[in-house]
């Protein structure tokens, strides 16, 4: 009985003090990404990156699958990868969303940020999917006009054929 109590006290002490000896996690903060993760077509976003231990991170590699990256606020050519060094006060870069609109389910941009040590090994990594603009209906029913016309035509033909069929069947009974 006392042996079980002693083991429980020992386990409680280990659980109580074990969080104090754990290593510190690699923490980073990324600001400037759209809040709802839906970008606006052609919009430029200033993205700010800070890390918990800037001395550990030698450089970062940023890649995007859609849009253009730039270290400044000027976008001259399509650039899908960016390498940034000297992050003593954090890193800043600009991402310009695609200028064209896409069909539903297309146009997503995958943003990847790899934080690297001096020797090239990974300190931390970040991935996010920036989705194409949300599809919202404006003032109509959200259905194309041709689909509405087709539906009403089909409903009208069905009603007319039902009435004709009822008349034909009723006529057979009367004769």
Of the pLDDT bands very low, low, confident and very high (cuts 50, 70, 90), residue 21 is very low
Residue 59 main-chain phi, psi, to 5 deg: -155, 165
Range of 95's domain? Answer: 24-130
Residue closest to 131 by CA, chosen among 63, 41, 48: 41
Is the model more confident about 172 or about 64? 64
Looking at the structure, do residues 59 and 109 belong to the same domain, yes or no? yes
In the predicted model, is pLDDT for residue 22 greater than 60?
no
Looking at the structure, do residues 93 and 61 belong to the same domain, yes or no? yes
Evaluate whether residue 4 is within a structural domain.
no
Looking at the structure, do residues 93 and 166 belong to the same domain, yes or no? no
In the predicted model, is pLDDT for residue 81 greater than 80?
yes
Contact indicator for 97, 109 with CB cutoff of 8 Å: yes
Domain count, the chain: 2
| H or E element at residue 9 | helix 2-17
**Cβ contacts of 118 within 8 Å, gap of 6 or more:** 58
Question: Going by DSSP bridges, is the β-strand pair 91-96/44-51 parallel, antiparallel, or unpaired?
Answer: antiparallel
Looking at the structure, do residues 42 and 69 belong to the same domain, yes or no? yes
The answer to whether the Cα torsion of 133, 139, 141, 145 is positive or negative is negative
Percent of the chain past pLDDT 90, that is, above it, reads: 22
Evaluate whether residue 100 is within a structural domain.
yes
Percent of the chain past pLDDT 70, that is, above it, reads: 83
pLDDT tens digits, 27-57: 888 999 888 888 888 889 999 998 888 888 8
The whole-number average pLDDT for the span 64-87 is 84
Evaluate whether residue 94 is within a structural domain.
yes
Evaluate whether residue 112 is within a structural domain.
yes
Residue closest to 126 by CA, chosen among 22, 31, 24, 39: 31
pTM comes to 0.62
Name the 3-class secondary structure at 35: coil
The answer to whether the Cα torsion of 16, 20, 26, 29 is positive or negative is positive
Evaluate whether residue 79 is within a structural domain.
yes
Of the pLDDT bands very low, low, confident and very high (cuts 50, 70, 90), residue 141 is low
Q: Provide the strand spans (E) within the chain.
A: 28-31, 44-51, 59-64, 68-70, 81-85, 91-96, 109-116, 122-130
CATH of the domain at 33: 2.60.40.4060
Contact indicator for 128, 37 with CB cutoff of 8 Å: yes
pLDDT tens digits, 103-131: 666 788 899 999 998 888 888 899 998 88
Evaluate whether residue 166 is within a structural domain.
yes
Looking at the structure, do residues 89 and 166 belong to the same domain, yes or no? no
Residue closest to 49 by CA, chosen among 126, 121, 109: 126
Looking at the structure, do residues 156 and 80 belong to the same domain, yes or no? no
pLDDT of 168: 83
Evaluate whether residue 18 is within a structural domain.
no
Looking at the structure, do residues 123 and 159 belong to the same domain, yes or no? no
In the predicted model, is pLDDT for residue 11 greater than 80?
no
| Residue 2 CA to its chain's centroid (Å) | 56
Looking at the structure, do residues 28 and 57 belong to the same domain, yes or no? yes
Looking at the structure, do residues 30 and 101 belong to the same domain, yes or no? yes
Of the pLDDT bands very low, low, confident and very high (cuts 50, 70, 90), residue 75 is confident
pLDDT of 7: 77
């Amino acid at each position: 009985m006392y042996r079980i109590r002693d083991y429980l006290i020992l386990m409680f002490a280990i659980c109580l003090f074990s969080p104090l000896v754990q290593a510190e996690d690699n923490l980073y903060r990324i600001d400037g990404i759209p809040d709802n993760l839906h970008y606006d077509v052609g919009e430029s976003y200033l993205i700010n990156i800070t890390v918990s231990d800037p001395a550990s991170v030698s450089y970062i590699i940023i890649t995007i699958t859609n849009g253009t990256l730039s270290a400044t606020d000027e976008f001259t050519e399509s650039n899908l990868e960016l390498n940034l060094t000297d992050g003593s006060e954090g890193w800043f870069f600009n991402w310009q969303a695609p200028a064209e609109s896409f069909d539903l389910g297309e146009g997503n941009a995958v943003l990847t940020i790899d934080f690297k040590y001096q020797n090239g090994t990974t300190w931390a990594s970040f991935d996010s999917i920036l989705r194409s603009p949300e599809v919202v209906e404006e003032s109509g029913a959200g259905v194309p006009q041709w689909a509405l016309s087709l539906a009403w035509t089909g409903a009208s033909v069905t009603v007319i054929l039902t009435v004709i069929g009822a008349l034909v069947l009723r006529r057979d009974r009367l004769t």
